[in-house]
Amino acid sequence: MTYGGFLLLNARSCACHFNDIHPLSGSSTSSPASNIIEMVCAHSAGASSTCHSKLIAYAVALAAGGAALGYLIGWKLGKKRARHNHVHKLSADKVVDTVDLEDVGEKMAFCRCWKSHKFPLCDGSHNKHNNCTGDNLGPLIVKGKTPSTQ
């Protein structure tokens, strides 16, 4: 609820006090416009003001509740965004893949973005991610030893 909504709620809960409004001066011969300026709520001043106390209590409760809710939502969303791997071997504590150098051949590209469907090999899935986010993620390219000519 907004601040204006709380003011409206407060005004409705204090409707019983509107009958207690009286002019400051004892004269009743003044114009209605001047009576509006001189009228004061008997319950608006002093420590016995329940309307203003309720409004302050509502505002403090709303601020505290909003801060707590915002913190919890940010904490939950932060945990979800921190994870990069959303598909491969989620039950494992740590994902480790081993490739022999003899299997590499001339050149092999390995995925670093966790979006490849052929993980641990790169299939170019990072290109779509880079276009959407403006990131510059790319694969790890491993080159095998080439036989040297003597």
**Residue 145 bears catalytic tag:** no
Instruction: End-to-end CA distance of the chain: give it in Å, rounded.
Output: 81
Q: How far is CA 30 from CA 24, 26, 27, 55, 65, in A?
A: 12, 10, 7, 33, 48
- Residue 30: phi and psi, rounded to 5, are -75, 165
Residues 140 and 109 sit within 8 Å (Cβ to Cβ): yes
Out of 89, 94, 128, 143, the active site residue is: 94
Q: Which residues of 22-35 are buried (b: 16+ CB within 10 A; e: fewer)?
A: eeeeeeeeeeeeeb
Measured CA to CA in angstroms, residue 92 lies from 78, 88, 95 at distances of: 22, 9, 6
Do 56 and 80 meet the contact criterion of CB atoms below 8 Å apart? no
Active site residues: 94
